[in-house]
Chain A
Amino acid sequence: MNALFLAYAYLRYHWARSAVLVVVAALILFVPAATQILLSTSERALVARGEATPLVLGARGSELDLTMSALYFSDERPDPIRMSQVEAIWDSGLAMPLPLHTAFSSGGFRIVGTTLDYFGFRDLEVAQGRGLTLLGEAVIGAEVAQALDKGVGDALVSAPENLFDLDGVYPLEMPIVGVLAPTNTPDDNAIFVDIKTAWVIQGIGHGHEDVVTAADIASGTDALANAAVVQYQRITPENIESFHFHGSQDDFPASSVIVVPNDTRSGTILKGRYLDPESPTQLVEPAGVIRGLVDRIFRIKTLLDVVTAIIAVAALAAIGLAVFLSYRLRAGEIATAVKLGARRGMVLRLLAAETVTLLFVAGGFAMAGAVVVSRNAESWVGFLLALGS
């Protein structure tokens, strides 16, 4: 007890040196623990998203790009596929296809055009407002709401695809009708619209003034074509009736399609149908693709672990040296203590108490930091994964 009291008094007297030692030791303990927590949480998050998505259909090409686009709404742009592919899956009766249109963004967040079935599939719940109901409406993820400081009643404007693409994509103003509850998944960072709204942004569907006006009818020229009709950039109750789509919906595009087979057998049959390497489409298993990605990341992590271990050894050696040098500096003090009658064991106990106290405090800080990281790991990892997209 006396040793601990004297050790505490000594450390408090030399508070600056003690603080530096505590910070260094705490960091040495905290960094590997935090890295491990974040990496394992990342692995779980990545694999969980992959395993929660049975199959993804898309244009033949990079499986990783297709998976990242469909699961994380990343910047990768796999070639679009036709909606007839979606209908083919419905017609097969083997699975539920969930088309995703991820070509556009707003405020730095991806606009995800899909069907209402997606919300049920991902168990997404509306925390404020309501779900998608009318063409042109948007429901935003929790992170989007926070980052853009938007909520129900506000509006978002789709970003032009290309400044020079004067012919194709016009910005569409979309009212926000709902905000989703946070899920710590990429859905938090998405702006959800009906896929038909995405087609409107793309210019496939549009609304415009009446082609045949009352004046035309009165003048008997109602059958004439009328050029340069004004197109609407906002869907309102007044003009929604004028919105329409051209061509067959089978020809409309989807960036990718999440495919949810009815059962294992149905999934196997479906996979067999897309094996032909000449087919313009491919059906991938995201879990396998993500597992491959995670394996690659964790090969790098092994290297990271070695580097961390070397740094930790070097830091421990530095601390040991600092402690040893401090003992050398305190040689006179120790000699005085011995002359005053302190036994060698007492001196050793005193020094050990100081070291243990330092390590105990450092360990406490490191553990507190690790707890903080652990509690927030899912949201931080979700944020980091979103940054990656």
Chain B
Amino acid sequence: MRKLIPTTTPRLLLAAFLLLAAGAAMAQERARIVAVNYPLAYFAERLAGDAAEVIYPVPESVDPSFWRPAIADISTVQSADLILLNGAGFATWVDRVSLPRSKLVNSSDGLSDRFISTQSITHSHGDGGEHSHEGTAAYTWLDPDLAIAQAEAVARAMTARGLAPADAVQDRLDALRSELETLDAAAGDALADAGTVPMIATHPRYQYLARAYGLDIAALDWDAGATPDADQLQALSDLAAERGARILIWEADPGAEAMTATDELGLTSVVFPPLATPPEDGSYLEAFRAAVTALGTAATP
């Protein structure tokens, strides 16, 4: 026993040192991928496995649509090996910062013919003549079919840059695609009868979801999770009466007071997180499935 201690201790120490060194080397070698929203971060994590560190740089309480990165945040993004953009006008901050084009990948590139245009404002200034800002609905991942195309774009970018082994990425993509197709089928079943039920969303986030499953969703422009004031409730009441809507979709739980107020208008509240940020429970797939199930249940007579 006395002899065992002095001979094994150095070996154990050496092994621990080698493990630490290997861990440090792996940490250094791991590629860094930045994603501008949660769905892209989720796809990247699923596709890269342990080969890359996926960074979602937006603070927890901030909507990535409105996030304004600080200089330090931009430096973090600039130093990544791959920067995943959503496109479709999502995260407009990228237009106002300097990013290395060689690392940028627009995951919805090639999907522009499937984008949904939003209203525009026409104005003029200087001598430049009149022009308009036409917008694009940005929450493309709420259509699983578009989400599959975006995941494929992420996989191509990873493979092309050698950030993860191509075979492994392809295997993971096949699995992810299969799960997204299953999700699409499940959502189709859950919302099969929801198309005839007019709905109102508290924020215009669900254009692609509505198109994918034939839903009739009108939108207000309320802050996520905020309790509506009297004017907003009146506008909601008028819109509900005009459209015969009986379902109100919330981005986030607004609290009991707000739900009670809208319930009194004869509207059934459904919380459908648009998933731009990580859901409180589960993953993109689980949260999406739970939300469409809740919406389908609410729409069932």
Mark A residues whose CB is within 8 Å of B: 90, 93, 96, 115-117, 120, 130-135, 137, 166-167, 170, 194, 196, 203, 206, 208, 211-212, 223, 225-231, 240-241, 243-246
User: What are the residues of chain B within 8 A of A96 when measuring CB–CB?
Assistant: 102
Mark B residues whose CB is within 8 Å of A: 68, 71, 74-75, 78, 92, 95-102, 121-128, 130-131, 133, 160
The answer for the CA separation of A203 and B102 in the assembled complex, in Å, is 26
Which residue of B71, B95, B98, B131 contacts A116 across the interface (Cβ within 8 Å)? B98
The answer for the CA separation of A93 and B121 in the assembled complex, in Å, is 37
Q: List 15 A-B contacts (CB under 8 A).
A: A115-B101, A117-B101, A133-B75, A133-B78, A135-B96, A135-B97, A206-B128, A211-B121, A225-B123, A229-B124, A231-B125, A231-B126, A240-B96, A244-B92, A245-B95
The answer for the CA separation of A211 and B120 in the assembled complex, in Å, is 12
Q: Are A244 and B130 in contact (CB under 8 A)?
A: no
Give the distance to chain A from B111, nearest Cβ to Cβ, in Å: 15
Known contacts A194-B98, A243-B96: does B71 contact A208 (CB below 8 Å)?
A: no
Q: Are B121 and A212 in contact (CB under 8 A)?
A: yes
Known contacts A115-B101, A134-B96, A244-B133: does B74 contact A230 (CB below 8 Å)?
A: no
The answer for the CA separation of A134 and B93 in the assembled complex, in Å, is 10
Which residue of B98, B100, B125, B160 contacts A229 across the interface (Cβ within 8 Å)? B125
Known contacts A93-B160, A241-B68: does B125 contact A116 (CB below 8 Å)?
A: no
User: What are the residues of chain A within 8 A of B123 when measuring CB–CB?
Assistant: 211, 225-227, 229
User: What are the residues of chain B within 8 A of A133 when measuring CB–CB?
Assistant: 71, 74-75, 78, 97-98
Give the distance to chain A from B72, nearest Cβ to Cβ, in Å: 10
User: What are the residues of chain B within 8 A of A170 when measuring CB–CB?
Assistant: 126
Q: Are B127 and A230 in contact (CB under 8 A)?
A: no
User: What are the residues of chain A within 8 A of B131 when measuring CB–CB?
Assistant: 246
Which residue of A90, A194, A208, A240 contacts B125 across the interface (Cβ within 8 Å)? A208
Q: Are B127 and A167 in contact (CB under 8 A)?
A: yes
User: What are the residues of chain A within 8 A of B133 when measuring CB–CB?
Assistant: 244, 246
Give the distance to chain A from B44, nearest Cβ to Cβ, in Å: 20
The answer for the CA separation of A233 and B74 in the assembled complex, in Å, is 24
User: What are the residues of chain B within 8 A of A246 when measuring CB–CB?
Assistant: 131, 133
User: What are the residues of chain A within 8 A of B95 when measuring CB–CB?
Assistant: 135, 196, 243-245
The answer for the CA separation of A196 and B125 in the assembled complex, in Å, is 20
A227-B123, A246-B131 given. 16 additional CB < 8 A pairs?
Answer: A96-B102, A115-B100, A116-B99, A132-B98, A133-B71, A133-B78, A135-B95, A135-B98, A167-B128, A194-B98, A196-B96, A196-B98, A203-B128, A225-B123, A241-B96, A245-B95
Which residue of A134, A211, A227 contacts B74 across the interface (Cβ within 8 Å)? A134
B121 closest partner in A (C-beta): A211
User: What are the residues of chain B within 8 A of A203 when measuring CB–CB?
Assistant: 126, 128
The answer for the CA separation of A120 and B100 in the assembled complex, in Å, is 9
Most B CB contacts (10 A, CB to CB) among A120, A134, A212 go to A134
The answer for the CA separation of A135 and B99 in the assembled complex, in Å, is 10
User: What are the residues of chain A within 8 A of B100 when measuring CB–CB?
Assistant: 115-117, 120
Give the distance to chain A from B65, nearest Cβ to Cβ, in Å: 13
Which residue of B78, B99, B125 contacts A228 across the interface (Cβ within 8 Å)? B125
Q: Are B122 and A225 in contact (CB under 8 A)?
A: yes
Give the distance to chain B from A163, nearest Cβ to Cβ, in Å: 15
User: What are the residues of chain B within 8 A of A208 when measuring CB–CB?
Assistant: 125
The answer for the CA separation of A203 and B125 in the assembled complex, in Å, is 11
A137 closest partner in B (C-beta): B98
The answer for the CA separation of A117 and B98 in the assembled complex, in Å, is 10
User: What are the residues of chain B within 8 A of A240 when measuring CB–CB?
Assistant: 96
Q: Are B97 and A166 in contact (CB under 8 A)?
A: no
User: What are the residues of chain B within 8 A of A115 when measuring CB–CB?
Assistant: 98, 100-102
A86 closest partner in B (C-beta): B101
User: What are the residues of chain B within 8 A of A227 when measuring CB–CB?
Assistant: 123-125, 130
Known contacts A133-B75, A134-B97, A134-B98: does B124 contact A225 (CB below 8 Å)?
A: yes
Give the distance to chain B from A120, nearest Cβ to Cβ, in Å: 7
The answer for the CA separation of A135 and B160 in the assembled complex, in Å, is 29
Q: Are A166 and B127 in contact (CB under 8 A)?
A: yes
B96 closest partner in A (C-beta): A135
User: What are the residues of chain B within 8 A of A166 when measuring CB–CB?
Assistant: 127
The answer for the CA separation of A229 and B130 in the assembled complex, in Å, is 11
User: What are the residues of chain A within 8 A of B130 when measuring CB–CB?
Assistant: 225, 227
The answer for the CA separation of A243 and B69 in the assembled complex, in Å, is 16
Q: Are B101 and A228 in contact (CB under 8 A)?
A: no
Which residue of A117, A229, A241 contacts B102 across the interface (Cβ within 8 Å)? A117
Q: Are B121 and A116 in contact (CB under 8 A)?
A: no
The answer for the CA separation of A25 and B131 in the assembled complex, in Å, is 73
User: What are the residues of chain B within 8 A of A229 when measuring CB–CB?
Assistant: 123-125
